[in-house]
Structure 1
Amino acid sequence: MTTDRRAAPRLSRRGFLGAGAAAGTAVLGLTGCSGATGGRTPLDYWHLMSGGDGILMGDMVAAVNASQQAYTAAQTVLAWGSPYYTKLAMSSVAGRAPDLAIMHHTRVAGYAPGGLLEPWDVAELERLGIGPSTQPERIWQKGQHEGQVYSIALDSHPYIMIVNTDHADAAGVLESDGTVEISSPEQLVEVGTRLAEVTGGTGLSYGFLGDGASMWRFFYTLYRQQGAEMVLTPGHPAEYDMDAAVTALTTVRSILDGRIAVQSNDLGGSIAEFVSGSTGILFTGVWETPTVEDAGIPYSAVPIPTMFSEPAAYGDSHAFVLPRQASVDPDSRRAAYEFVAAMLKSSGTWAQAGHVPAYLPVVESEEYQALPASSYADVTEILNYDPEAYFSGSGSNFQNYFAENIQTVLLGRTEPQEGMTGFIERVNSLLMQPNPAAPAA
């Protein structure tokens, strides 16, 4: 299902925010039924959400706190990326971690082996209405490590394609359902060229300068669409497909010709040119859909097109984890379970950030299905997380290492095979080093 804002009236983001909060409060009143006597149990909650995401997270925490009398969650917001994950690891090592924290699903492999996280009690989660039947299978499985559940996803946030439907219609590439058919690298070039003829400038928007995450997301999407695997096993060289990697990089580079797409754009520049109406297609993450919505341009947001043999899209998930503590307060631990269940059940609010809620009853609700974001909810079926390693995942240096070797490829200064070889050499050096968070043998 896709969304063309010209087609039919739909519930606005702000309208659903109010409806979601009201519905969430009604549901949440059923969950917070226990706590310490003599007052609410305090719950220390860390996360790394800022900007619009941070506002929505704060709204959700406030709604959960107001919905019951058992506990009060106090949020601590830390800087995104390495600063956050470093401080979380240090607090766990010292045994003075928060009761609850947000972590990307892809970071669990670096934290669970060393005992920095504690596993969730699945039976207790299911008592509260959360379990494998309430989340897409591949999202639930990603939260596991060696048979235990360490992270409970709040969402998934995949790489998608956003289309200016007016430009696409004028270029003759808009399908009746609001999508644009791009089934091969050659068709990507053709569509981009036709859109450029309409805009009078460039046809596609893609920003990557100085941004390893943007480079990796597009590359890994096209790499996985070829059915190629990347396996990172400690103590062994990386297993990967050089031919598929070269094809993926060549495909990205084919649009960076100054006509189809700007040859050297950063992420902010690509978004700015798209929302100004200067281009017809934007390749980006779902978190940019609110920016496009607020710009007021006619658009459809859809899963990334399948340009090779297999549907695939890069993605990650914000997830709840239990950092290791030297001494666990049973009331706080009980509150953490109840708080997570409440947050998932009210995650319609979180959908305002463009993320796809992981809690299936929310995704299946009429309120969510009325949102523009529902047009790419099915992307969870083709979601591909980073190859698992202690050094990979969102907010790690893994994607920076990719940028160190691949930016010059995209700029046309080095060849794809040379850039990929340099990246794999860096990865192999890390694979020969022990996980610094793992216990000594």
Structure 2
Amino acid sequence: MEMRKILGIAMGAMIAAGAVSNAAHAEETVIWWDFLSGGDGVRMKQLISDFNEQHAGEITIDATTLEWGTPFYSKVRTSAAIGEAPDMMTYHASRIPLAVSQGILSEITPDDWQAMGLSQDDYAPATWDAVTIDDKQYAVPFDTHPIVLYYNKDVLAANDLLTEDGKPKGLDSREGFEATLKGLKDAGVDYPLASTTADGTFMFRTIYSFMAQQDGELMTGDEFLAGDNAEKLQNSLEVLAGWTNDGLQTTYTDYPAAVALFTSGKSPLLINGVWEVPTMIDLKDQGKLFEWGAVEIPVIFDHPATYADSHTFAIPANAGKEMTPEKHAAVLEVISWMAKNSLFWATAGHIPAYGPVTQSDEFKQMEPNAAYASVTDNLVFDPKSTLAGVAGPIYDVMSTYFVPTLNGEMEPAEAVEEIKYELNDLQ
């Protein structure tokens, strides 16, 4: 009887030890929110599936996709305030200043970077700076998604407007690019360049790029359009309004129409985001598209510069809910794995932010991404302001004046005067 008791006690101890061991190695579930739809959504779901398969029994991502823009960011803020935000989420770099001011993002600490096996040297300076506030990082860049120039190789070639390396002629100067536009116009093309001129928030990308090509900035300290920056904005608007007035660019064109004008062959040039690359690839694979390419936007002023934003990964600061060390380690593993496996993400047209991926032979052979990868050296992000970023008030103000100006119904000088007054009135 005594022996049975001893055995029973020993067995109980073994079971208890086993339970503790199993608990220590229990699978961590990482609650994930994103705002990715369309081609982005398809690719991210595949990455999540691949991660879960490779980490079976250790970490699983439980992902939810929410509505892009203001609805997403409003939900994050309200959820973080009551400790109900996810463990991690996608976040636009342009929205980080506002999020930090609201106290809803956790710092990505030096120890976190070390644990992930990532560092500042792995990122382009502008991309790293975009997630940095007061020398602290609040997100891990996943990509950059700039605007690019899409072009119809067949039409340009037929009109002797391709260079020997198969790119549009005239990308290095205003005179050169306008010569290409006019060459297409003379060849009978109604609208050589398709632009989203009915949406001022979208056209901000092109306008701000042209400002940056003059070393202009939207915000200096706490002042909008200080010094000669108003003049540089006016210069940008005058160029674009001139293209519209000369019939070189589409008028009052919304986003779907701009893309359709290009894909139908009616407009041989299109300025749009890299996220439309999957559209072009799919149509080409279906035999419904001409030979096409995409390159960095033309240098209209002094030097290359292109507006961009970044998808990043951020960790919410959940009020009253501290993350366990095990959960935190799992979140860092997810972010690290996504960065190091972002070559697949590039098939969505984006440029992976993690340098070793973009420097790989595989990426350098990926077209058209490799053709516009040079833009990484010339990126310009939103000003670091709580008023900036996706769906921010800056865009609302400027859109009101950009649309009539780009469509020949308002003078650029008048638009700039009104924009400067209203932006500074937001402060």
Identity of aligned residues (%): 28
Equivalent residue, structure 2, for 1:310: 303
Structure 1 residue 65 and structure 2 residue 52: aligned?
yes
Q: How does 1:163-178 map to 2 (within 5 A)?
A: 163-178=151-166
Equivalent residue, structure 2, for 1:430: 426
Aligned length: 396
Residue pair 2:95, 2:388 contacting (<8 A) in 1 also? yes
Residue pair 1:100, 1:321 contacting (<8 A) in 2 also? yes
Question: In the alignment, which of 327, 332, 343 is matched to residue 348 of structure 1?
Answer: 343
Q: Which amino acid aligns with 2:291?
A: P
TM-superposed CA distance for 1:385, in Å, is 0.5
Residue pair 1:81, 1:396 contacting (<8 A) in 2 also? no
Deviations 1:261-316 (A, max 9, x none): 22221121111011111122111111112212223221221111111112100000
Equivalent residue, structure 1, for 2:399: 403
Residue pair 2:345, 2:352 contacting (<8 A) in 1 also? yes
Structure 1 residue 248 and structure 2 residue 236: aligned?
yes
Equivalent residue, structure 2, for 1:389: 385
Question: In the alignment, which of 369, 375, 379 is matched to residue 371 of structure 2?
Answer: 375
TM-superposed CA distance for 1:366, in Å, is 2.1
Length-normalised TM-score, structure 1:
0.86
Equivalent residue, structure 2, for 1:191: 180
TM-superposed CA distance for 1:219, in Å, is 0.4
Larger radius of gyration: 2
TM-superposed CA distance for 1:172, in Å, is 1.7
Which shifted more, 356-365 or 181-190?
181-190
Q: Which amino acid aligns with 2:416?
A: M
Gaps of 5+ in 1: 1-33, 432-441
| 1:314 partner SS | strand
Q: Which amino acid aligns with 2:82?
A: A
**CA 1:35–1:217: 2 relative to 1, 3 Å:** farther
Q: How many angstroms apart in 1 are the aligned matches of 2:371 and 2:337?
A: 25
| 1:192 partner SS | helix
**CA 1:344–1:365: 2 relative to 1, 3 Å:** same
Q: How many angstroms apart in 2 are the aligned matches of 1:199 and 1:322?
A: 53
Q: Which amino acid aligns with 1:334?
A: A
TM-superposed CA distance for 1:175, in Å, is 0.8
Q: How many angstroms apart in 2 are the aligned matches of 1:338 and 1:95?
A: 22
Deviations 1:172-223 (A, max 9, x none): 22111222223333333321121234454321111121x2332100100111
Q: How does 1:28-39 map to 2 (within 5 A)?
A: 37=24, 39=26
Question: In the alignment, which of 108, 120, 128 is matched to residue 140 of structure 1?
Answer: 128
Q: Which amino acid aligns with 2:307?
A: Y
| 2:101 partner SS | coil
Residue pair 1:189, 1:254 contacting (<8 A) in 2 also? no
TM-superposed CA distance for 1:238, in Å, is 4.7
Q: How many angstroms apart in 1 are the aligned matches of 2:85 and 2:355?
A: 30
Q: Which amino acid aligns with 1:339?
A: V
Gaps of 5+ in 2: 1-20, 285-289
Structure 1 residue 290 and structure 2 residue 286: aligned?
no
Residue pair 2:132, 2:138 contacting (<8 A) in 1 also? yes
Give the alignment's Cα RMSD to 1 decimal.
1.9
Question: In the alignment, which of 191, 194, 214 is matched to residue 205 of structure 1?
Answer: 194
Which shifted more, 122-131 or 313-322?
122-131
Question: In the alignment, which of 101, 123, 126 is matched to residue 113 of structure 1?
Answer: 101
Deviations 1:417-438 (A, max 9, x none): 211222222211222xxxxxxx
| 1:260 partner SS | coil
Equivalent residue, structure 1, for 2:312: 319
Higher relative contact order by CA 8 Å / sep ≥ 6: 1 or 2?
Answer: 1
Deviations 1:121-164 (A, max 9, x none): 22332333211122212211221111111011000001111111
TM-superposed CA distance for 1:37, in Å, is 2.9
Residue pair 2:197, 2:407 contacting (<8 A) in 1 also? no
Length-normalised TM-score, structure 2:
0.88
TM-superposed CA distance for 1:408, in Å, is 0.9
Question: In the alignment, which of 148, 154, 157 is matched to residue 160 of structure 1?
Answer: 148
TM-superposed CA distance for 1:73, in Å, is 0.8
Q: Which amino acid aligns with 1:202?
A: Y
Residue pair 2:217, 2:225 contacting (<8 A) in 1 also? no
Residue pair 2:88, 2:313 contacting (<8 A) in 1 also? yes
Q: How many angstroms apart in 2 are the aligned matches of 1:213 and 1:62?
A: 34
**CA 1:38–1:341: 2 relative to 1, 3 Å:** closer
Residue pair 1:155, 1:317 contacting (<8 A) in 2 also? yes
